[in-house]
Structure 1
Amino acid sequence: MCQCFHKFFCFAHHISNLDLIEILKGQWLGHFSGTYEGFIVINIDELHDNFKGCVYLIHNNDNIPNVFAIIQTSDKRNDFSFRTYSIAPINPSTRFPDDWNNIKNSFDPNARIAEFVDVTGSWDEKYLSLKWNTSLDGHGECTLPRSQAEEPSNLKQNIKDWDIFKQDIGLLKGTRYLFRGQNKPWKLRSSFHRTGRADLTRFVNEDIPSLHKHLSARTKHVFNLDIPKENGAFFNLVQHHGYPTPLLDWTYSPYVAVFFAFRSITSKMAADSNDDEMVRIFVFDQHQWRSDYEQQLLLSTANLHLSIADFIAIDNERLIPQQAATTVTNIDDIEAYIHLKEKENNKQYLSAIDIPISNRDKAIQELRYMGITAGSLFPGLDGACEELKDRNFEI
């Protein structure tokens, strides 16, 4: 990394403690200090015998290049030390790692990239602590809190029965908002991050080529991943067919969102539910968000972002009836990130409406009258059978 280049971390946890193993992998965010100061992002995946991931150092000083590095531990102990040589500056134009000779003229003439970084550290249930020294005599340290993405949502509960929900939703205008239905008030989190993985560089370099190789024999269209629109359409296709991705599905229709919120809840579950059991409809002011923030559509980048995309429907018949939109992100705790931006700008981007599970049968019946069913939202045999199963067996 660069002189400031206090580079990052590797960590390991005790192999005999399964609970700790589960909390080590993931995304760690916070500030670092030392020769330089700035923000550090650490994305770690758990492998069979160790941990591997990447680190981004984002410096407060624009004259110093931000740095990317690949890290890997030798085992899973919860204290560690190691040396990393995989260090690269980040091109400020492309936002991807690059050769130092290609971009060095954009920075302080005295800035350099370290040949290696020596890292020591430890972690426990709550924190990851790191210290490092570079081959350029730079140093740094940080203590990073564990992600709270698995915790319940912090959004203020706004409970409305089905009839009031319809009444209030009718007051919203145009396509200003996106909606997402969930059968529990979990925090917003992509399916990729829910698996415990965090290293999107690995995802892009390993998962996507493998998926493309295997699926190209099964899709009518052979996706050219070098074309941004086709690349996005491919990501969206595999997302809609169950493969974990850093995408999050939304819809322009609040009623489609309600369908998905109630989809896995049976009539019996609704009848047996308690008064405090709810499904959740997230409401995202996408118009204001697009206005205030650049939509990057990048994954393996140093800059944290949540970006909105309307992908083209190549080999994906579900996009149109679901009135789908998508967010792309490199952030684990999406809700916390949005809340931070709300505080910075004194604006509200995200809210939620909770509908009692007991309203399920009434809502589903009215959605049928609107033509919103599994058969309409999932064209094909699977959707038709799901719809008829719901009708004929009254589940």
Structure 2
Amino acid sequence: MQGQWLGEFTDEFSGTVRLELEERQGRSVGNAYLFYSTKDNLPGFMFNMGIGLDAPISTELTTIYLHSDGGIMTREDRQQAETSLAERFGGHYISATLQVEFEANGDDIVVRYLTADGQAESIKLIKSSVSNSSELIGRADLQTWDQFRAWAVDGHPRNFIFRGQRSRHKLSTTFHRTWRKNLQNWIHDDVRVLYGAMSDKISYPLELGNMAHNAAFWSILQHHGYPTPLLDWTFSPFVAAYFACVNAKLDDPERPRIYIFDQIKWNERYGKIGFTADPSPPQLIVLESFNFGNPRATPQQALFTVSNVTDIESFIRAREDQDQQEYLTVCELPADEAPRILRELELMGITHGSLFPGLDGIARDMKSRFFGQQL
């Protein structure tokens, strides 16, 4: 088994379960996470996984206590949590170990386990995948460049962040588009090795123990092509339009797409907080990082979202249904408008050279100028 699976439970208490597995050396390894709703005032739990690939799959898991909003508890915090649970429920609410069975159900997984009082329970986990195209439909009020430009100039664009894409693929981070899913290993292993290899080339001394510095280093990795749990966005609707249109072809049935995410509404509901990407509940956090060592960030008006879920679009849409709010919409532009849009953006100073400072950017601008499509 390999991938990410998400599930919810709504019995006496409600919450979420997230399972992340990678196939390594003939085994599926990773972690499972259980978090309760905030109203329940209960700790979260993590279970390290190491199971075989062939059915039937049964294993005993050790319970690791987490803070309710993410992060592994210290020994002292765990002792306090266990004391509190014993007072509330007359004994340990979560066993020190848990006997678990996994059964594949198509792409999904059914998890069966015994509770602390010996009752058999099960939960179905749905595979989080981005193999299908986006289900978002283009906004009816933003079907042309003139409509989008007028909306961007006359409205309140700073309430939103934008992402330009040529195709309809779902929103997902570069990390989650790979075969890897275990963020804990990425943070503990990849980032430390990369920091050791790159630290002498970063002008500002970053500290990996500092969350803001972590964000800055992750953004450097992202802009230099290393898979991360970050997704690129921009404050500028016109920078997003450039990325949507720059590789568009006139005869391409795919329409350039500009995703529009209402960060004000999202942050009012879920808060702009420091992030604990893993272990934490399923989340999407808007992240404005420092620009140290990343000369592209300022001209691109760049920022990021950090997420621990594979299918970000479906995650947002589920929250929209839950909250009765609209957070994410999309503008689809006609592909045959792309050349005109790019000419206008060039007059605004938005070109590959301005967005990617350096010789490569200059060369690409000159290539577009002298070898570009004749109109």
| 3-state SS of 1:71 partner | strand
- Aligned with residue 59 of structure 2, among 82, 91, 96: 82
TM-score (norm 2): 0.89
Q: What letter matches 1:175 in structure 2?
A: R
Q: What letter matches 1:368 in structure 2?
A: E
- Aligned with residue 273 of structure 1, among 238, 252, 256: 252
Preserved contact between residue 295 and residue 357 of structure 2 (Cα < 8 Å): yes
For residues 160 and 59 of structure 1, do their structure 2 counterparts lie closer, same or farther at Cα, with a shift above 3 Å needed? closer
Matched, 1:55 2:36: no
- Aligned with residue 131 of structure 2, among 132, 144, 150: 150
For residues 389 and 46 of structure 1, do their structure 2 counterparts lie closer, same or farther at Cα, with a shift above 3 Å needed? farther
Quote the offset at 1:66 in angstroms: 2.3
* Cα distance in 1 for residues equivalent to 2:43 and 2:252: 55
Preserved contact between residue 54 and residue 70 of structure 1 (Cα < 8 Å): yes
Quote the offset at 1:51 in angstroms: 1.4
Matched, 1:44 2:21: yes
Matched, 1:194 2:173: no
1:289 alignment counterpart: 266
2:281 alignment counterpart: 303
Matched, 1:133 2:110: no
For structure 1, which segment, 165-174 or 191-200, has the greater mean C-alpha deviation from structure 2 after superposition? 165-174
1:239 alignment counterpart: 222
Quote the offset at 1:168 in angstroms: 2.6
Quote the offset at 1:329 in angstroms: 1.2
* Cα distance in 1 for residues equivalent to 2:243 and 2:178: 21
Matched, 1:92 2:68: yes
Q: What letter matches 2:152 in structure 1?
A: I
Quote the offset at 1:375 in angstroms: 0.6
For residues 124 and 388 of structure 1, do their structure 2 counterparts lie closer, same or farther at Cα, with a shift above 3 Å needed? farther
1:66 alignment counterpart: 44
Preserved contact between residue 261 and residue 329 of structure 2 (Cα < 8 Å): yes
For structure 1, which segment, 350-359 or 162-171, has the greater mean C-alpha deviation from structure 2 after superposition? 162-171
Preserved contact between residue 36 and residue 140 of structure 1 (Cα < 8 Å): no
Preserved contact between residue 116 and residue 134 of structure 1 (Cα < 8 Å): no
Matched, 1:122 2:122: no
Matched, 1:230 2:213: yes
| 3-state SS of 1:337 partner | helix
For residues 102 and 383 of structure 1, do their structure 2 counterparts lie closer, same or farther at Cα, with a shift above 3 Å needed? farther
* Cα distance in 1 for residues equivalent to 2:8 and 2:227: 29
* Cα distance in 2 for residues equivalent to 1:334 and 1:340: 10
For structure 1, which segment, 314-323 or 43-52, has the greater mean C-alpha deviation from structure 2 after superposition? 43-52
- Aligned with residue 111 of structure 1, among 69, 77, 92: 92
1:9 alignment counterpart: none
TM-score (norm 1): 0.85
* Cα distance in 2 for residues equivalent to 1:352 and 1:372: 21
| 3-state SS of 1:389 partner | helix
How many pairs were matched up?
Answer: 364
Preserved contact between residue 20 and residue 181 of structure 2 (Cα < 8 Å): yes
Structure 2 portions without partners, runs of 5+: none
> 1:210-225, aligned counterparts within 5 Å?
210-225=193-208
1:369 alignment counterpart: 347
